[in-house]
Amino acid sequence: MVYVWRFRRFPEKGVDPKSLRILLYLKNHGPHTSREIARTLGYSPNFIRKVLQRLRRLGAVEVYLKPSRGLEDFQE
């Protein structure tokens, strides 16, 4: 299963610079997986997952499941 993270809004409380960098990346480049974010920004995947979970609790990002098959796969 592939989880895709999407920017929602900036939190009202102050966030640390690394979290802000992740938020700005999602805002400017659209939805991405945590692995893509980690690779692009140069952070460890575990760190990115922890930060994204914290940002999700703050309402700054949202996550959704990307289906493994698209509509094109079901056409005859």
pTM: 0.83
**Banded model confidence at residue 72, pLDDT cuts 50, 70, 90:** low
Residue identified by tokens 């929602």 is: 8
Q: What is the per-residue pLDDT for 58? A: 92
Set out the domains of the chain in order of their start, with CATH numbers: 2-67 (1.10.10)
**Banded model confidence at residue 71, pLDDT cuts 50, 70, 90:** low
Instruction: Tell whether the model's pLDDT for residue 12 goes beyond 70.
Output: yes
E strand intervals along the chain: 2-7, 32-33, 61-66
Instruction: Dump pLDDT digits (tens) for 26-49.
Output: 999 999 999 999 999 999 999 999
Nearest Cα neighbor of 14 from 23, 6, 2, 5 is 23
Q: What is the per-residue pLDDT for 46? A: 95
Angstrom CA distances, 15 to 1, 31, 52, stand at 29, 20, 12
Instruction: Tell whether the model's pLDDT for residue 8 goes beyond 90.
Output: yes
Residue type present at position 57: R
